[in-house]
Amino acid sequence: MIGKNLTFWFQTIHAALVVIGVFALIYSLSTNSAVDIAPNWGLWLVAGFLVSQISFYIYSWRFRKVAGLMKIKLSAVDSLRLNMQGLFYHFFLPFSAAADFAKFFKLKTHQTSKQERLKTIILDHSVGLFSLVFISGFLLSFKEHTFEYPQINYFILVGICLTMLAIILVCKKYFVNAKEFATVNTREIVTIFASSIAMQTLLSLSVKLASLNLGVEISYLDILFVMSLSMIFHAVPAHLLGVGLAEIMGSALYITIGLSPIEAIQMVSILYFFRLTTAIMGGAWELLNQKLIRRRFDQQKLLK
């Protein structure tokens, strides 16, 4: 009971701060007809971080809905906790798959079947990757200007095709009746896919808002394109403190659309900062859980 109450209050305080912050920013902007970035250097960074947190809520909601398709019942708080703690392990363990391993083991309290837990994680990744491929492919087909290095178009197309092939092969292996599953759950899958698109567009918006502090001249659609395409490479399970192939590709793509190397690193660093801050909050939540588990264990020993 104590653990559930503390977990509830942790999530409630987090959500309240995000909502209050958003309304405070709206009020601040509405009372200043002409906002000068120079004296308000922190305003856009805070705005970007708050939007990134809203995006993370949508991500947690998506995971909860995916788990529901696998007959795993998660509350909104449970899903947020699992994903924040998963992000913590993603940053502070050497392989990005550490987040998936953490979710896999923590889901055991909700579902004992290893196969159902594994399918939940696979389906969540598949939906996420497909939405990233959809956004980046769509924007690539309507891109107004070419890359500084035209050869990158072929690299992008090959990457998209390989990602789609990987999704199909993995789903075919773990979802034997994939066609029947998709038919029965069409409405839920479409809703989950739409939430994934919304999550990615909001996350890109958060980076765009924060970039206003840097004075980097880049359009929102370019940011959305670079982030959608580069985040596909999070599927490669190798990084150091959260810096992996996705961040390298993000920097390279920003440079190919005209940014300087310094500006490209700054743009990638914005998302890294937002994710790292969320990961630290997830680590605090994990520490709280571990303390509560030890306390319950000690109480049980005393009763015996």
Amino acid code (one letter) for 181: F
Q: Which domain holds residue 109?
A: 2-303
Q: Inform me whether the pLDDT recorded for 69 exceeds 90.
A: no
Q: State the Cα–Cα distance between residues 66 and 63, nearest whole angstrom.
A: 5
Average pLDDT, the chain: 76
The tally of domains found in the chain comes to 1
Q: pLDDT for 86-131, tens place per residue?
A: 888 888 776 667 777 888 888 887 777 788 888 888 888 888 888 8
Cβ burial, residue 92 (10 Å; 0-12/13-18/19+): middle
Cβ atoms within 10 A of the Cβ of 240, count? 8
Residue range 257-279: mean pLDDT, rounded:
87
Q: Inform me whether the pLDDT recorded for 27 exceeds 70.
A: no
pLDDT at 35: 42
Q: Inform me whether the pLDDT recorded for 30 exceeds 50.
A: no
Would you state the structure tokens that stand for residue 296, as one six-digit string?
A: 């319950």
Q: Which H/E stretch holds residue 192?
A: helix 186-211
Which residues face 244 on adjacent strands?
A: 239
